[in-house]
Chains A and B, each alone.
Chain A
């Protein structure tokens, strides 16, 4: 159970020595309770308090790094159930399955898709994060042969070694030494052997059980065997059960600080119908998966899932912003209109969408207003005549245009005179107040 500030305060030295950088022990305790400070800032705390508070202040979902190098994936560290409460921390990884029953050509094709999957979206580089090798044949030799192909061709990609056979797991693990791979397949009957392999190879262990009770007992047992890093699978495969189990796991971790389920969740979501598989993956992204294993990674599907993941994992307290620049919509000619708005992402999406709908090729100047919408930015002094004039002048856009007319949002009509004063030679036109009136406005002007 997470401790309150007052409960934590009772265990601190209560000397108000300020060595931790906070004015009083109580203030420090409050910060600890909100997870905004760590206990190591206090030099005088007792060993006993350290033990109790250390357990209580550890993140409810254990942080785990999966893979090594630039493509390593961080998992866990989540603290809430709903994204409007606080940012979801570590976006879930998408892993594609390669079975050891595939031919080398089939396996290579998927590896190539993974290696070429990186897409840039709103400034973030997104990709298929991992490969899951599965021992579908049940044969240890075939599994090792596949592991060799993957280790040779995709050594940088984080890998999940999926087998319930400890010998097969051990042989494959050797091929991914120092790669922080995941060995998935520990269950009630092979726990000791699998735990040993994970420990020896310093890898994370994927634990599989039937239901949450069995899963809790199993992670406790494996922890007692000396393995700290685990990812957990309750055995849920149907979407209804995945939502139920993932929700109960997250609640147990976050609301009760229940350690046996305080690990990242891995969900196997393979479906023959690729579109349905994409929708299940979308459910997992929204509902607490840390790793989603899929059958296929087509480009259209990746783009949709990466975007979904980006949307769900954005910080709800920081407005999404787009880059300050002059965007071309359609293929503007020198005589095409120039409009200006602010860089709040929703403002940009709505305004640019309506301009696209008008089918009138245009330029849209998007000014950095720290992610505020037009009226808010104006009220906050971030969308003013002098800043607009400076942006337009410095952009040098007039060299590409045959006219000097700037269309401003109707909500800031009041600025038109002062912008004209600060942009000599320019004509300032007041556009509509709402973006949905833009198509009519632009079409009428073009006619």
Chain B
């Protein structure tokens, strides 16, 4: 019995999305095959990893992931430049966590100033994220979208409760938009439809089906992503064809496995290596499931995932 490979040709493809301006702009998505299956189709762009920084010092991050940024994280501008110049980041994700009413409760004006300062200091693309407070985000993201007008950023995250204002702001200022729903392929599809019905171009969307950390529901994110990608390719479902985001760092660096000291749990091994591995394995799993854009924190985790991507393409 002679072997003939079963190759698949799909009717659909993932939209390519370009962010940033000038020669540092990056493009991800654009493939017409399952992740890293370039043996049967085109996968013109490698996945992109953005370094996460925030507008206030990362006192809420575990010590092992604060450490690499200790000299720069008191100032988002220094922090962004460090990621760009020293860590060779391809993109930066600025999370405006200081605008959360339970945190520093910074105003939309303060947030806009931070965004402008960071944009002035870097030439790589910027992803601008709110604090995940639905009401406050709609005020903050309107202001920062305008402050970053025409810089071709990604604004996020638009959710069911606030998508109208945020999508309108991203549209008016020529940005891309993250649409996030909670671990359900149908909710994800529905939100993409609602946003495009406002006149927002589907080619400017990025789907965030919600990340979960290794050991903490990763299999749900993994399968939702895999199903979204299959719907995009096999059913040519246009509402499922935006590239996908894995917002990895935030979900990984709050669980026990990335924090508990070895003295408490000797059979888990050293906390620093364990935390880095946790972030890198979570990220790798999501790449295999279909994520094209990742937001990560630890430089060593980013470096290892980038090496793995090199080997996969």
Can you list 12 A-B pairs with a CB-CB distance of less than 8 A?
A: A82-B226, A84-B226, A119-B267, A278-B280, A278-B281, A279-B304, A282-B288, A286-B288, A299-B269, A300-B273, A316-B223, A443-B102
In the complex, chain B residues whose CB is within 8 Å of the CB of A273: 304, 307
A213 at interface by CB-CB < 8 Å: yes
Pick the residue among A121, A286, A300 that contacts B277 (CB under 8 A): A300
- B36→A243 contact, CB < 8 A: yes
Query: Please, which residue of chain A has its CB at the minimum distance from the CB of B259?
Result: A356
* Chain A 217-253 near chain B by CB (<8 Å), digits 1 or 0: 1001000000000000000001110011001100110
B37 CB → nearest A CB, Å: 7
CA A326 to CA B308, docked complex, whole Å: 41
Chain A residues with Cβ below 8 Å from B1 are 216, 220, 258-260
B286 to chain A, nearest CB (A): 10
- Choose, from B77-85, B135-143, B195-203, B210-218, the stretch at the interface: B210-218
Q: Which A residues are in CB contact (< 8 Å) with B269?
A: 298-303
Contact of B311 among A280, A320, A356 (CB under 8 A): A280
Q: Which of A240, A252, A256, A260 contacts B38 (CB 8 A)?
A: A240
**A313 to chain B: closest residue by CB:** B219
How distant is the Cα of A300 from the Cα of B102 in the complex, in angstroms? 34
Q: Is A416's CB within 8 Å of the partner chain B?
A: no
Given A83-B223, A243-B36, A311-B218, also A216-B273 (CB < 8 A):
no
* Chain A min CB distance to B104 (Å): 14
Decide if B284 touches A304 in the complex (CB within 8 Å).
no
CB <8 Å contact, B102 and A279: no
Q: Please, which residue of chain A has its CB at the minimum distance from the CB of B276? A: A275
| Residue numbers in A under 8 Å from B217 (CB-CB) | 345-346, 349-350
Given A216-B1, A243-B37, A316-B219, the answer on whether A275 and B304 have CB atoms closer than 8 Å is yes
Option from A299, A436, A440 in Cβ contact (under 8 Å) with B267: A299
B305 adjacent to chain A (CB < 8 Å): yes
Contact residues in B for A84 (Cβ distance below 8 Å) = 223, 226-227
B interface SS class:
helix
Cβ B219 vs Cβ A312 within 8 A: yes
Question: Scoring B residues 274 to 295 as 1 if CB is less than 8 Å from chain A, else 0, what string do you get?
Answer: 1011101100110011000000
- Give the total of B residues in contact with A, Cβ under 8 Å: 54
A234 to chain B, nearest CB (A): 11
- Is the C-beta of A314 less than 8 angstroms from some C-beta in chain B? yes
Q: How many residues of A contact B (CB 8 A)?
A: 63
Mask, B48-75, CB within 8 Å of A = 1, is: 0000000000001000000000000000
Q: Determine whether the beta carbon of B254 is less than 8 Å from that of A279.
A: no
A89 close to chain B: CB less than 8 A: no
Hey, what's the 0/1 contact readout for A271-299 against B, CB within 8 Å counting as 1? Answer: 00101101110110011000000000011
Q: Whole-angstrom distance between the alpha carbons of A228 and B258 in the complex?
A: 45
A239 / chain B contacts, CB cutoff of 8 Å? 36, 308, 311-312
Select B39's contact among A83, A244, A298, beta carbons within 8 Å. Answer: A244
Question: Which of B2-10, B88-96, B117-125, B169-177 contacts the other chain?
Answer: B2-10
Does chain A have a CB within 8 A of B255? yes
Contacts of B284 in A (CB 8 A): 279, 282-283
Given contacts A239-B311, A275-B277, A349-B216, 14 further A-B contacts (CB under 8 A): A83-B226, A84-B226, A212-B5, A243-B312, A248-B6, A252-B3, A258-B3, A260-B3, A275-B301, A283-B288, A286-B222, A303-B274, A346-B216, A350-B217
Cβ 8 A contact of B280, one of A82, A252, A279, A310:
A279
Distance in angstroms between the alpha carbons of A256 and B312 in the assembled complex: 26
* Contact in complex: B312, A304 (CB < 8 Å): no
Q: Is A150 an interface residue (CB 8 A)?
A: no
Is the Cβ of B39 less than 8 Å from the Cβ of A308?
no
B214 touches A308 (CB 8 A): yes
Q: State which residues 103-160 of B face A: CB under 8 Å.
A: 132
Is B44 in contact with chain A by the CB < 8 A criterion? no
Asked if A252 contacts B281 (CB within 8 A), the reply is no
Which residue of A is nearest B185, CB measured?
A: A84
Whole-angstrom distance from the CB of B299 to the nearest CB of chain A? 12
Q: Please, which residues of chain A bring their CB within 8 A of the CB of B288? A: 282-283, 286-287
Partner of B215, one of A278, A282, A307: A307
Residues of B within 8 A of A82 (CB): 223, 226-227, 230
Closest to B132 in A: A436
With contacts A220-B1, A275-B276 taken as known, whether A240 is within 8 angstroms of B36 at the C-beta atoms is yes
CA distance A83 to B227 in the complex (A): 10
- B219 touches which of A244, A275, A279, A314 (Cβ 8 Å): A314
Contact A251 to B308, CB < 8 A, known contacts A279-B284, A299-B268, A311-B219: no
Q: How far is the CA of A243 from the CA of B277 in the complex (A)?
A: 21
Beyond A282-B281, A311-B214, whether A276 also contacts B132 by CB under 8 A is: no
- Chain B residue, CB-CB nearest to A84: B223
In the complex, per-residue mask of B24-57: 1 if CB is within 8 Å of any chain A CB, else 0: 0000000000001111000000000000000000
A440 to B289, CA, bound (A): 34
Q: Which residues on B sit within 8 Å (CB–CB) of A283?
A: 284, 288, 308, 312
| A255 pairs with B6, CB closer than 8 A | yes
